[in-house]
Structure 1
Amino acid sequence: MEEIVREENLTFIEDSGRGYRRVVASPKPISIVEKDAIEALLVKDITVITAGGGGIPVVENNGQLKGVEAVIDKDFASALLAAEINADYLFILTGVEQVAIHFGTPTQQNLIEMTVEDALRYMEEGYFPKGSMGPKIEAAFLFLQKGGKNVIITSIDKLQAALAGKTGTRVVLNTKKAVDDKENLVTA
């Protein structure tokens, strides 16, 4: 193994006591190759499950797609796809019912709604780390910046309650622009 790592110039890191994992680039996606096919299926009212694990990263070279050694974050891929198909909502499903500041402490504060400005401030204060909630919050920004209207972050078992406005965390451009339209839903 060590010989392969050395010869192939591979990098591995210890992964929180779970062993080692290979480190590769993690660029943000710039387009979704299958967007037209996904839209065609949606027009026919077919439920589409896509962008799981972020998808397979490719680059275009002389009109040909070529796979590259990288990892595409599923939240960024889902946010970009939702924006490209003009979805009104993006649901980011995660392991917690609501986004929180002071997470895991006696002063934990669950957030029902936050504006992009609030979220940016919380990120600067270190509440949303890169290996945890940070990418989900950044994906929410991406979707909203590209014209999306509303993002809800919650756990899968609380999705129905979040749709009804009873839980989850809504991320909005500002509180006056929150939309209550339940069409064009995309779930990450």
Structure 2
Amino acid sequence: MRIVLALGGNALLRRGERADAATQLRNVAAAADQIAEVAAQHQILLVHGNGPQVGLLAEESERDPTLERGYPLDTLVAETQGMIGYWLAQSIGRRLPGTPVAALVTQVRVDPDLGPPVKPIGPYYPPVEAERLTRERGWTFSDERYGMRRVVPSPRPVEVVELPVITRLMSDGCVVIAGGGGGAPVTGDLTGVEGVVDKDLVAALLAERVQADLLAILTDVPYVFSGYGTPTQRPILRTSPGELAAGDFAAGSMRPKIEAVCGFTRNTGRTAVIGALSEMTTVLRGDSGTWVT
């Protein structure tokens, strides 16, 4: 079976953990144990998140006094693809000797209409600092609970530039890591775009294009819940795209995942699931997670 696995940011950095390399490598090793078990039986394409990592790099770049301006976001996304892809390829390769593993720096052509800035990145700033950065750099900020936070456009993915290479590698039996952090966003002529693409939407796009049998979005909750956080909260076990899309889900967390699985199932007639990364093998056996058919 051909499976696209979308790993949430908690694959590398769990809530409250420091962004040290050693911490992230331990988390990668735990995920790789399960990935290798699945990859021993199926064709696998991995798409990973990069929210904490790209935010850290953006902050470091902007604070570097030797630079006139910080590095653009498309470049930082590419940087994190290299770093995280390297970690995953190493860890999976150790567990699957003889199986080729390739991590690709992936470009994603996006909708020319980038849309409004909605994706929060980087640290929180005091209002005075946010006002200064707005004047000097033209940044946009949102007022959140812990301070002002930079928000950037999150354009819709249209095409994965390296798709032919990804398809060929998968057909040759390679475990492929691609589309990390949603891919580096580019225009039609491959000019970088200042934005961050949603990685779950890219995973769904790739799953369609490589004709995957299953799209599995793995995160830090075991199910999609209706009435999440209320006394009437209940897990959704089996559902259809129409039923799931009609629910009320948070725009910044679960909603993109809902959109990704519903779109994949509608467009292909194939199955998708949202479940816990820590229970990956259980989810893929059909014993856990929210299944969309």
- On whether the aligned pair clears a TM of 0.5, the verdict is yes
CA distance in 1, matches of 2:176, 2:143: 35
Q: Does 1:10 align with 2:131?
A: no
Structure 1: runs of 5+ lacking an equivalent: 173-188
**CA deviations over 1:64-87 (Å, ceiling 9, x no partner):** 310010110010011001111111
Residue aligning to 2:263: 142
Q: Residue 41 of structure 1 aligns to a residue in which SS?
A: helix
Structure 1 residues 72-81 or 2-11, which shifts more? 2-11
Separation in 1 of the partners of 2:149 and 2:179?
Answer: 22
Alignment partner, residue 276 of structure 2: 155
2-side partners of 1:33 and 1:20: how far apart?
35
Match of 2:149 in 1: 21
> Percent identity over the alignment?
41
Evaluate the alpha carbon distance shift between residue 4 and residue 163 of structure 1 in structure 2; reply closer, same or farther with a 3 A threshold. closer
1:10 Cα deviation after fit: 1.4
Partner of 1:53: 181
Tell me the SS of whatever aligns to 2:157: coil
Which shifted more, 141-150 or 100-109?
141-150
Q: Give the TM-score taking structure 1 as reference length.
A: 0.81
**2:152/2:194 contact within 8 Å kept:** yes
Distance across 2 between alignment mates of 1:15 and 1:45: 46
- Relative distance call for 1:138 and 1:6 in structure 2 (3 A) is same
Structure 1 residue 48 displacement after superposition: 1.0
Q: What is the CA–CA distance in structure 1 between the aligned matches of 2:171 and 2:270, rounded to whole Å?
A: 20
1:115 deviates by 0.6
3-state SS, counterpart of residue 256 of structure 2: helix
User: Counterpart in 1 of 2:214?
Assistant: 89
Query: Are the equivalent residues in 1 in contact too, given 2:152–2:196 (CA < 8 A)?
Result: yes
Q: Say if 1:3 and 1:35 are closer, same or farther in 2 by CA, change over 3 A.
A: same
Tell me what 2:171 maps to: 43
Q: Which amino acid aligns with 2:239?
A: M
Residues 89 and 148 of structure 1 are in contact (CA less than 8 Å); yes or no, is this contact kept in structure 2? no
What is the identity, as a one-letter code, of the residue corresponding to 1:169?
T
SS at match of 1:57: strand
1:116 aligns with 2:241: yes
* Deviation at residue 157 of structure 1 after TM alignment: 1.1
CA positional deviation for 1:3: 4.2
Q: How does 1:65-80 map to 2 (within 5 A)?
A: 65-80=190-205
Kept in 1, the 8 Å contact 2:241–2:266? The answer is no
Contact 2:179–2:203 (8 Å) recurs in 1: yes
The letter for the 2-side match of 1:54 is: G
Deviation at 1:121, TM superposition (A): 2.4
Once residues 52 and 21 of structure 1 are traced to their aligned partners in structure 2, the CA distance between those partners, rounded to angstroms, is: 23
Q: Is the 8 A contact 1:116 1:171 kept in 2?
A: yes
Question: Which blocks of at least 5 consecutive residues in structure 2 are unaligned?
Answer: 1-128
Q: Show the counterpart of 1:30.
A: 158
Structure with greater helix percent: 2
Structure-2 separation of matches of 1:76 and 1:171: 16
d(CA) in 2 for partners of 1:156 and 1:129? Answer: 20
Aligned to 1:104: 229
